Structure 1
Amino acid sequence: MDYAIRLTDQLKPHLRALRKQRGLTQAQLGQRLGLGQARIAEIEAKPGLISVDQLVQMLSALGATLVLRDLADSGTSSAVLAQEPPPKTSPKPPAKRTATRAQAPLRVIPPKKGSW
């Protein structure tokens, strides 16, 4: 399925939904990317703060691609997130949590130069 994205805020629900559809926690996705859970939470909260390279890496880890589509008929262009089909062998889903914990407010800390 394709999702037209025109503003970075529109990425928020899609990134989270893609991660959850793949049965991944923020910590598990972070492990795939060499990041901590807190950084994945920051990215999901404010996806406009990461580079295009980092976004493409994250989408790749989630089995999605970024497609640029020229909408010549309307005179505009848009970016589209396209989901790739899930792998034939899907990983075992994580155990369901029974208790929830309150999340502390996020403090956005810019990444160190040369890192995420």
Structure 2
Amino acid sequence: MDYAIKTLSQLRPILLGFRKSAGLTQAALAELLGITQQSYAQLEANPASASVERLFKVMRLLNVELHMSQASSAPGNKPVQAETPKLQRHVPAAKKAKSPSVANRSGRTQKASSSKQPLGAITTKKKRENW
């Protein structure tokens, strides 16, 4: 059966339906992907945030194909014409720019900090699965 997907919000129920019709749980599909059930649940809950590559991996396991076609335009709708992308030439910098100097309270000059986080801030990184 074919399903027309015109918005990202339609992707979630369709992925869910294909998974269930394949007789797979989230945990079983996650195991086939080599990820945790929580990671797959997150993808299924918000597939719009997933990469196209990840969506294709899921679709491949569910034996789902993607077909694209141009929708017929309704009366009164003008076809959208794509603009030609404008290319910009990248010019490498001759020398690395130095950060500006700033005078501190003692009158000594020091380089200005380019960090956007306050000193002493603790940053934690989430562990990401590589799939």
Sort the TM-score into its range (normalised by shorter chain). 0.5 to 0.7
Q: TM-score, normalised by structure 1?
A: 0.63
Q: Distance in 1 between matches of 2:130 and 2:36?
A: 12
Structure 1 unaligned residues grouped into runs of 5+: 77-109
Matches within 5 A, 1:28-107: 28-71=28-71, 73-74=72-73, 75=79
Alpha-carbon deviation of 1:31? 1.0
SS at match of 2:3: strand
Query: Which one has the largest radius of gyration?
Result: 2
* Residues 1:13 and 2:28 are matched in the alignment: no
Q: Distance in 2 between matches of 1:46 and 1:52?
A: 13
The letter for the 2-side match of 1:115 is N
* Residues 1:115 and 2:130 are matched in the alignment: yes
How many equivalent pairs are there?
81
When residues 42 and 15 of structure 1 are mapped into structure 2, their CA distance, relative to the original with a 3 A threshold, is same
Aligned-residue CA RMSD (Å): 2.0
> If each structure's helix is expressed as a fraction of its own residues, which one has the higher value?
1
The letter for the 1-side match of 2:41 is A
Q: Distance in 1 between matches of 2:7 and 2:127?
A: 22
When residues 67 and 111 of structure 1 are mapped into structure 2, their CA distance, relative to the original with a 3 A threshold, is farther
Alpha-carbon deviation of 1:18? 0.6
SS at match of 2:41: helix
Q: TM-score, normalised by structure 2?
A: 0.56
Q: Percent identity?
A: 38
SS at match of 2:23: coil
What residue in structure 2 maps to residue 86 of structure 1? none
Structure 2 unaligned residues grouped into runs of 5+: 74-78, 81-125
Per-residue CA distance 1:2-60 (angstroms, 9 max, x = gap):
11111111111111111110110101000111111111111111000111111111011
